[in-house]
Amino acid sequence: MDIIMDDFVDHLSFDNDEDSKIEEGKDKNYYIAKGEYILKQLDDKDNYFHFLSSILKKFKDLPEDKKIFLKETMFIEDKVKIVEKKIIVQPKKTNQKPKLNGYSANRHNYDDY
């Protein structure tokens, strides 16, 4: 799919549009202004989504501090899953009735008088 998109982009002609060219070696303000200019042209949320998904392809190559900054800008939080484990120990049931005259339910030899 990426190969098809790359071929499609190669066939697009932006030579007539001076505003679409991005020069190399400029300071950061130049690139911020270019980004703002492009952002103003994206009037639809779907167009913005497709533009953003195509521009973020190299996100994984950024240094970790830049990734953190972008995540905070986009309000993306790292998912932390907290698993709480409860262990309930039930005591063994024992006969709590008092024994009378040495009587035990397990013994059957007792005096009934």
pTM of full prediction above 0.85: no
Q: What angle (nearest 5°) sits at the alpha carbon of residue 93, between those of residues 90 and 98?
A: 140
- Residue 4 within any structural domain of the chain: yes
- Residue 15 within any structural domain of the chain: yes
- Residue 77 within any structural domain of the chain: yes
Contacts 24+ apart (CB under 8 A), 16-20: none
For the segment 63-73, what is each residue's pLDDT rounded down to a tens digit?
999 999 998 89
- Residue 98 within any structural domain of the chain: yes
For the segment 8-17, what is each residue's pLDDT rounded down to a tens digit?
445 444 445 5
- Residue 46 within any structural domain of the chain: yes
- Residue 110 within any structural domain of the chain: no
- Residue 109 within any structural domain of the chain: no
- Residue 25 within any structural domain of the chain: yes
Instruction: Give the structural domain span for 80.
Output: 1-104
* Six-digit token string for 20: 């679409």
Question: What is the average pLDDT across 37-51?
Answer: 90
Q: How many domains does the chain have?
A: 1
pLDDT for residue 78:
78
